[in-house]
Amino acid sequence: MSEAREQILGTLRRSLKRGRLDAGRRAELEARLAAHRRNLVPARAAALDHAGQVELFVRMAEEVQTTVARVASAAEVPAAVADYLSQRNLPSRLVMTPDPQLDGIPWSERPMLEIRRGRAEDADQVGVTAAFAAVAETGTLMLISGPDSPTRNNFLPDTHVVVLRRDQVMASYEEGWSRLRAAQGAGALPRTVNFITGPSRTGDIEQRLELGAHGPRRLHIVLVDDGAAS
Amino acid sequence: MPAPPIRVGLFVTCLVDLFRPSVGFAAVKLLEAAGCNVEVPASQTCCGQPAYNSGDKADTKAIARQVLDAFEGFDYVVVPSGSCGGMIKRHYPDLFADDPALHQRAQHLAKRTYELVSFLADVLKLERVEARYDGLATYHDSCSGLRELGVKEQPRRLLRSVAGLRLAELPGAEICCGFGGTFCIKYPEISDRMVADKAADIAATGADTLLAGDLGCLLNMAGKLSRLGKDVRVRHVAEVLADMTEATPPIGAGPAERR
Amino acid sequence: MQPTSHAFKANAHQALGNANLQKALGLMRSGFPGRRAAALARLPEFEALREQGKALKDHVLENLDFYLETFEQNVIARGGQVHWCRTPQEARETVLAICRRLDAKTVTKGKTMIAEEIALNDYLEQHGVTPVETDLGEYIIQIRKEYPSHIIAPALHLVKEQVAESFRRTHRDLDPDRTLEEAPTLVAEARAVLRQKFLAADVGITGANFCVAETGSTIIVTNEGNGDLTQTLTKAHIVLASLEKVVPTLEDLSTLLRLLARSATGQEFSTYTTLSTGPRRPEDTDGPGEFHVVFLDNGRSAMLGTEFQDMLRCIRCGACMNHCPVYATVGGHAYGWVYPGPMGAVLTPTLVGVDEAGHLPNASTFCGRCESVCPMKIPLPKMMRHWREREFERRLSAATYRYSLRLWAFVASRPPLYRAATALASRLLGWIGRPRGRFRSLPLAGGWTQGRDMPAPEGRSFMSLWAERRKTAP
């Protein structure tokens, strides 16, 4: 290991007036890491039942300029997407991640939607992705990267449409970590986890809020109420 | 048998001693009216803040030891200033952290020391005063009183019992006026701009009277208001609560401007 | 950059006369504090979270070597690399070496205060690599050749007309007829220009708000999404972080995230909170091929165990400067280096020396508002006072000031002498000043009386009147 590393750690221990931690203390700290103990989780979402959490999620998301369309089942998603795009005069050509979560949706019933499955490029104006989960507390989406969900699709297109199932809505970030550990194994995070709360914005010019700084100008969630995946 | 009166040592503060004895007498009147026996130890000078905030620990300790000696034996020590009160209550124990005997004395003193209005309201549970003041007043929260001692509602509550007085909230009442003790000497230009902003906020309330609990801040704000030609009477809150505004012109006003 | 903290007074003088700056600071005063207060009012647990956050950071600092080593192991396990740098020079060289190995011509950058601290942009430019700032505020100050005036809002000191002028000067393809009067068109212009830079860059550099030991992840928190494009579209992602950024677990991270955005901008949560763990996976279709964490010490390891240790809890939210009445009056550039406001007044002397930055811990009224809003409960005034003590011990303050102070202290610790002096002074000043009630000028108080009057004493000291009253009392 590098000389700088040893020197930094050495100075640090001298400042703390001790040497390397002994085995007992290290074991305690290892145990602390492994326990994944939750600190205080605010009651705002945690105190609600799941239906309440879904309502809170929608309210908090809308507060930060996310738009939400609610549909009864996966079968209604294509129409909801098509309506959203046409109402805003947005292009009907879209790039969709190859995420299997989106496979069971009957996209072909809306032939006007011109869909390309794959990685987003600069020219793509509209993107559709699936979500890993959503956090009611702050109206936040949780998206993860993987072979079928490239990160850039969350940022390059001007309009980002996210398909979210009702059963993916959770109270807190902490529940998100538990779900992620269950899905991927403890400590084995995907390359990228994106928490997204509203469309891109900046306050850098005279502290006035402007949407669409570098990421999407519009964030639209299609919330599928029947819960179960296709 | 009636309870023996509470023995209070009044820490006058150097600014009140030098500039505005009326505040000291107002404090005495309020405390005596509430049944306290007030004494003013002759060996007091200053709390030591100018030295403390200049990094001069040795001189601060010398002055603080004097205060410890002077105020031994009182039930309470009362200070008509949040800044000096905060110094004794919050900083003396820290100052003597490395000397167990003095640390203990400092802690003992700190426990018994109160800012005047919070002593009246929180310790003596005073709910109203017998006083009259005709005017629309606004109140500035001096920083140390507010943030070190939690003085916020107490003066407003007591002021609401003053006949004839109406209160207008000061926007940004919790923002520093720019006095800052040695700060206004070391950085007068910045201090002046800060108090200019404060004066603008005061003027915007339309109040004819400005009240606060710290003479340093009051001298600063009164000086700015008079320089700007603003017709605002400036007084220490104790003068109003003690019904002693007839005797003395407002801070920074000449005898002719007495109202 | 060369600090100008020693010239704080002159810097402040200029700032007070700068109309654009004063307008911008006015917008800050009416913005950040109210938004923070509103966010806190909605979260009854905020104070409890603050206590937990503080305890958590204290725990990390006591065991910092363990958490840094654990973090490093986990970065390596996910295919990344950790570089330990003692000095700014080592950190600059490390970054340049990575850029050179990858034959990088341009690097895009997300907002990182560590890059400012080590003056990375100048160094890269001198060595043939073009850095492009992508946070809108950072981009604006880069093209203006300035440095940030605020740690979360780097261009806070500017008004939109100045931004428009800078875009006209530097964006060669900009149609001269196009109006740039309002913020939306300025944002759109910057977006279009920077989108091309994102796509062309070879290496992306970001900071890290936190580093999670448990997983080896680094975290950035942004609103624009620039940091994400920076780190996703390039061959390598370099993260610049200081040692104290490490936190144990994802649960601990969640606690600190709940405090950060609310304290900083008053948002419930920032728009983008992103965890990056290692380089892209073999089966991934995007993401950086390399992941490097560059740890900078620059004196921080030596701050542990000193009276300045608490400063290492700082999560760089900027609440202290948003609420500082001195910052709100003179702005960030007066402080003369990259960290302004109360946190800068404590940190800058450790990083550039108290001889250079001695003014900063003095330029505070000790109003305590910074400490009262700090999510990590850092006792900022107390630490500024520690610096003043060091300066006093080393006789760094002005000699006249020190002598006056000592003279005053000499008198104040001799009650009879003090009593005589104050009785005389109040009589004298009262006698001269009483007719008007105030002085328009006063010897030795020119700084005060230049802009305000000095109220006159009533004419007798309290102690002399009290002594009389005692004598005449029955």
Q: Do C187 and A212 touch (CB under 8 A)?
A: yes
CA distance A207 to C35: 12
Bridge partners of residue C352, in order along the sequence:
none
Which is it for strands B76-79 and B36-39: parallel, antiparallel or unpaired? unpaired
Instruction: Give me the DSSP letters along B112-123.
Output: HEEEHHHIIIII
- Residues in contact with C267: Cβ distance below 8 Å, sequence separation at least 6, in sequence order: A64, A197, C35, C39, C223, C261
pLDDT tens figures, B177-216: 999 999 999 999 999 999 999 999 999 999 999 999 999 9
Closest CA to B24 of C458, C318, C408: C458
Q: Does B88 touch chain C (CB under 8 A)?
A: no
Give chain B's mean pLDDT: 95
CA atoms within 13 A on the CB side of B177: 31
CA B172 and chain centroid, separation: 19
Instruction: Give the mean pLDDT of A114-136.
Output: 97
Burial (CB < 10 A; 0-12, 13-18, 19+), residue C403, is exposed
Checking if the pLDDT of B258 tops 60, the result is no
Q: What part of C 189-208 touches A (C-beta under 8 Å)?
A: 190-191, 194-195, 198-199
Q: Do A122 and C27 touch (CB under 8 A)?
A: no
Q: Does C375 touch chain A (CB under 8 A)?
A: no
Neighbouring CB atoms inside 10 A of B18's CB total 24
Q: How far is C429 from chain B (nearest CA, A)?
A: 9
Instruction: Give CA separation, C250 vs A186, C71, C256, in Å.
Output: 11, 12, 10
> What is the per-residue pLDDT for B1?
58
Instruction: Give the mean pLDDT of A60-87.
Output: 97
Of C409, C418, C462, the CB nearest to B59: C409
> What is the per-residue pLDDT for B2?
67
Of C85, C199, C251, the CB nearest to A177: C251
Q: Best interface-test mutation with A: which of C246, C251, C312 has the largest number of A CBs within 10 A?
A: C251
Of A189, A200, A210, the CB nearest to C217: A189
Q: Do A200 and C223 touch (CB under 8 A)?
A: yes
Which is it for strands C236-242 and C203-206: parallel, antiparallel or unpaired? parallel
Bridge partners of residue C293, in order along the sequence:
C82, C239
Crossing angle, helix C399-412 and helix B57-70, to 10 degrees?
20
Q: Which domains does chain A have, with CATH numbers?
A: 1-35 (no CATH), 44-224 (3.40.50.10420)
What residue type is A118 in one-letter code? G
Q: Name the strand (E) or helix (H) holding B215.
A: helix B215-227
CATH of B128-257, one of 3.30.70.980, 1.10.357.10, 3.40.50.2300, 3.40.50.11810: 3.40.50.11810
Contact assessment for residue A142 and residue A132, using Cβ atoms and an 8 Å cutoff: yes
- Which contacts (CB < 8 Å, 24+ apart) does range C24-28 have? C24/A206, C24/C156, C24/C157, C24/C158, C24/C159, C24/C331, C25/C156, C25/C157, C25/C328, C25/C329, C25/C331, C27/A206, C27/A207, C28/A207, C28/C153, C28/C156, C28/C322, C28/C328
Chain C residues with beta carbon closer than 8 angstroms to that of A4:
84-86, 90
Q: Could you tell me which chain C residue has the CA closest to the CA of A137? A: C268
Please report the ipTM that was assigned to this predicted complex. Answer: 0.96
Contact assessment for residue C106 and residue C201, using Cβ atoms and an 8 Å cutoff: yes
B and C touch per CB criterion (3+ pairs under 8 A): yes
Contact assessment for residue C365 and residue B183, using Cβ atoms and an 8 Å cutoff: yes
What residue type is B236 in one-letter code? H
For the four alpha carbons of C202, C206, C211 and C217, in that order, the dihedral sign comes to negative
Contact assessment for residue C366 and residue C381, using Cβ atoms and an 8 Å cutoff: yes
Beta strand residue intervals within C99-225, DSSP E: 106-109, 130-133, 203-206, 210-212, 217-222
Which pair of tokens denotes residue C289?
A: 């091929």
CA B83 and chain centroid, separation: 7
Q: Do C302 and A213 touch (CB under 8 A)?
A: no
Please tell me whether residue C461 adopts helix, strand or coil conformation. coil
CA atoms within 13 A on the CB side of C380: 34
Chain A residues with beta carbon closer than 8 angstroms to that of C247:
none
pLDDT tens figures, A101-115: 999 999 999 889 999
Q: Could you tell me which chain C residue has the CA closest to the CA of B46? A: C412
Crossing angle, helix B188-205 and helix B215-227, to 10 degrees?
80
CA distance A62 to C330: 37
Q: Do B50 and C363 touch (CB under 8 A)?
A: no
Q: Do A199 and C198 touch (CB under 8 A)?
A: no
What residue type is C175 in one-letter code? D
Residues of chain C with pLDDT below 70 are 473-474
Chain A residues with beta carbon closer than 8 angstroms to that of C226:
213-215
Q: Do A36 and C49 touch (CB under 8 A)?
A: no
Domain locations along chain B? 6-121, 128-257
Contact assessment for residue C233 and residue C198, using Cβ atoms and an 8 Å cutoff: yes
C133-170 residues labelled b (16+ CB within 10 A) or e (exposed) = bbbbbbbbbbbbebbbbbbbbbbbbbbbebbbebbeee
> What is the per-residue pLDDT for A229?
41
Q: How far is C87 from chain B (nearest CA, A)?
A: 30
Chain C residues with beta carbon closer than 8 angstroms to that of A64:
267-268, 271
Q: Which domains does chain C have, with CATH numbers?
A: 31-298 (3.40.50.10420), 302-393 (1.10.1060.10), 401-472 (no CATH)
Which is it for strands A169-170 and B113-115: parallel, antiparallel or unpaired? unpaired
Q: Could you tell me which chain C residue has the CA closest to the CA of A21? A: C66
Of A21, A145, A204, the CB nearest to C136: A204
pLDDT tens figures, B165-183: 999 999 999 999 999 999 9
Q: How far is A28 from chain C (nearest CA, A)?
A: 11
Which pair of tokens denotes residue C383?
A: 């630490």
> What is the per-residue pLDDT for C474?
55
CA distance C278 to C289: 9
Alpha helices (H) in C295-398, listed in sequence order: 300-303, 319-322, 327-330, 341-352, 354-357, 369-373, 380-393
Contact assessment for residue A96 and residue A116, using Cβ atoms and an 8 Å cutoff: yes
Let me know if the fold of B6-121 is the same as that of B128-257.
Answer: yes
What residue type is C225 in one-letter code? G
Q: Report the CATH architecture of B6-121.
A: 3-Layer(aba) Sandwich (3.40)
Contact assessment for residue B11 and residue B74, using Cβ atoms and an 8 Å cutoff: no
Contact assessment for residue B60 and residue B95, using Cβ atoms and an 8 Å cutoff: yes
Q: Could you tell me which chain B residue has the CA closest to the CA of C406? A: B59
**Phi/psi of residue A149, each to 5°?**
-145, 75
Instruction: Give CA separation, C45 vs A59, B126, C41, C52, C316, in Å.
Output: 20, 33, 10, 11, 21
Q: Could you tell me which chain A residue has the CA closest to the CA of C64? A: A12
Q: Does C228 touch chain A (CB under 8 A)?
A: yes
Q: Best interface-test mutation with B: which of C32, C366, C380, C419 has the largest number of B CBs within 10 A?
A: C366
pLDDT tens figures, C291-322: 999 999 999 999 999 999 999 999 999 999 99
Q: Do A192 and C226 touch (CB under 8 A)?
A: no
Q: What part of C 126-155 touches A (C-beta under 8 Å)?
A: 134-137, 140, 153-155
A230 pLDDT band, cuts 50/70/90, is very low
Q: Do A201 and C224 touch (CB under 8 A)?
A: yes
Closest CA to C45 of A177, B152, A139, A47: A47
Q: Do C366 and B143 touch (CB under 8 A)?
A: yes
Q: Do C287 and A192 touch (CB under 8 A)?
A: yes
Of A16, A63, A204, the CB nearest to C62: A16
Checking if the pLDDT of A227 tops 60, the result is no
Chain B residues with beta carbon closer than 8 angstroms to that of C461:
17-18, 21
Q: Could you tell me which chain C residue has the CA closest to the CA of A145? A: C284
Contact assessment for residue A224 and residue A77, using Cβ atoms and an 8 Å cutoff: yes
Q: Name the strand (E) or helix (H) holding A57.
A: helix A50-63
Checking if the pLDDT of B51 tops 70, the result is yes
Q: Do C452 and B19 touch (CB under 8 A)?
A: no
Instruction: Give CA separation, A225 vs A78, A143, A161, B240, C317, in Å.
Output: 14, 19, 16, 65, 38
Q: Do C287 and A5 touch (CB under 8 A)?
A: no
A and B touch per CB criterion (3+ pairs under 8 A): no
Q: Do A15 and C62 touch (CB under 8 A)?
A: no
Chain A residues with beta carbon closer than 8 angstroms to that of C292:
none
Contact assessment for residue C250 and residue A142, using Cβ atoms and an 8 Å cutoff: no
- Chain C: touching chains (3 or more CB pairs < 8 Å): A, B
Contact assessment for residue A77 and residue A108, using Cβ atoms and an 8 Å cutoff: no
